[in-house]
Each structure stands twice: as C-alpha cells, then as structure tokens.
C-alpha cells in the first residue's frame, strides 16, 4: 500500500489515482466546453442544416456532459475524506448561489427588462463560486 504523501493541496491517500481522476475530469470538462461552444456557434451562424441536425448536436453535447458527471463522481468516490469534504462544501455553496442567486436574477430581470433571463450568467456564477469554494476549502483545511 502506498504511504500517505503531502500533495499540492494537502495529504491524500493515493496521489497518483487522484491526479489521474482529476485529469479525467479536466479532459471531459474541456471536451464538453468545446462541444457547447461549437454548438452555440453552429446554431448562431446556421452551420447545421436543419432543426434535426441542431437537435442531434445538442443531444451529443448532453451525452458528453454525462461523461463529465461520471468522471467527477469517480473522482469523489475514490478520493480521501478531506477532499470529499472540501468538494461537498464547495458544491453546497454553489447550489445555494445557483438556486437563490438564480431566482433573484430571474426576478430582477423580469422586473427591469423584457424577455427571459440568460442562464449563462447563472451558470458562470456557479462555476466561479465552485472554483473559489474549492480553493478556500483547501486553504482552510491545509
């Protein structure tokens, strides 16, 4: 059994496995981000011929997002308890920002302007919040 080593963000039970899992999450996330950007550009510029091709591209991107979730779940299952706690705290705060911040944004948007709110802003706020939450958690427990 591999001894516990001090990693970049603190101690971890199996640094090689954690790095491999983090890399897997990163690769799937990058593939998903590229797919989302490509789909948005293709729809905006009408590169895809017809609604059925747009729906197929959206479905393919949705399937890639399942890969991201699978990779992240695997990382959480196989990492140590401290990292799991850090991730849980970051995710809890992120959900709070998404739900409560998203609802406030939606209400203010409806009052101040016409049309539907853009979920891109809520999603970006959640991603930023999660990243900050992980960094703060690592600093708190290091």
Name the more confident of 95 and 1: 95
| Per-residue model confidence as pLDDT tens digits over 13-25 | 678 899 999 999 9
Q: Which of 80, 95, 100, 98 is nearest to 21 (CA)?
A: 80
List the alpha helices (DSSP H) in the chain: 15-44, 51-78, 81-96, 102-112, 119-141
Instruction: Give residue limits of the domains in the chain.
Output: 1-79, 80-142
Task: Give the SS3 label for residue 10.
Answer: strand
pLDDT digits (tens, 9 = 90+) for 24-81: 999 999 999 999 999 888 888 888 888 888 888 889 999 999 999 999 999 999 999 9
Contact between 5 and 15 under an 8 Å Cβ cutoff? The reply is yes
């Amino acid at each position: 059994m591999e001894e516990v080593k001090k990693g970049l963000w603190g101690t971890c039970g199996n640094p090689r496995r954690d790095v491999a899992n983090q890399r897997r999450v990163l690769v799937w996330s990058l593939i998903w981000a590229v797919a989302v950007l490509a789909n948005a550009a293709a729809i905006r510029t009408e590169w895809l011929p017809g609604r059925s091709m747009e729906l197929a591209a959206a479905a393919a991107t949705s399937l890639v997002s399942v890969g991201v979730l699978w990779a992240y779940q695997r990382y959480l299952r196989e990492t140590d308890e401290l990292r799991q706690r850090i991730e849980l705290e970051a995710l809890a705060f992120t959900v709070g920002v998404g739900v409560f911040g998203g609802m406030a944004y939606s209400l203010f948007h409806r009052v101040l302007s016409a049309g539907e709110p853009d979920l891109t802003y809520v999603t970006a706020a959640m991603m930023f919040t999660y990243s900050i939450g992980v960094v703060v958690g690592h600093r708190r427990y290091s």
